[in-house]
Amino acid sequence: MEIDTAKLLHTAKTASGEAYAPYSKFSVGAAVLADDGRVFTGVNVENASYGLTICAERAAVCAAVTAGARRLVAVAIFTPTPEPASPCGACRQVLAEFAHEMRVYIGCQSDQVAEYTLEELLPHQFKF
């Protein structure tokens, strides 16, 4: 499948504007690409009880699953940082649940883009 990286990153960046981040002011957006070509977005949603905060990547995966997608091929993440900021371990593992091979694109305010495979970010995924 051809991945339009620029479009996927633009979608994640646009989504980040809807993040609910009143505590950290760290608005993150994510866009996941399903194997059927559909794109789903998510944003971080903070909570006064920090442990209840939802990351943008997991929110995007939940939107995809809710719509019936079960296989993801790529994710774009936008972070409000000068350099790309990698997803947390929990998000990496949730992404791995729905992807055997996945491209991960991380954009930031400086327009720098980091590209990885999920295997590079999570080399020893938990499998059941």
Is 115 part of the annotated catalytic residue set?
A: no
pLDDT interval class at 128 (50, 70, 90): confident
d(CA 28, CA 18): 9
Provide the percentage of residues in the chain whose pLDDT is more than 70: 100
Rounded to the nearest angstrom, the gap between the alpha carbon of residue 20 and the centroid of all alpha carbons in its chain is 16
Taking the C-alpha atoms of residue 111 and residue 47, their distance in angstroms, rounded to an integer, is 29
Q: Is 55 annotated as a binding residue?
A: yes
Query: d(Cα 110, Cα 74) in Å, to the nearest integer?
Result: 22
Per-residue pLDDT at 1: 80
What's the pLDDT tens digit per position in 36-67?
999 999 999 999 999 999 999 999 999 999 99
3-state class percentages of the chain: helix first, strand second, coil last, to nearest 5: 30, 25, 45
* Choice among 18, 57, 83, 101 that is catalytic: 57
**Amino acid sitting at position 21:** A
Split at pLDDT 50, 70, 90, the class of 77 is very high
User: Computed over its alpha carbons, how large is the radius of gyration of the chain?
Assistant: 13
pLDDT of residue 60: 98
Average pLDDT, the chain: 96
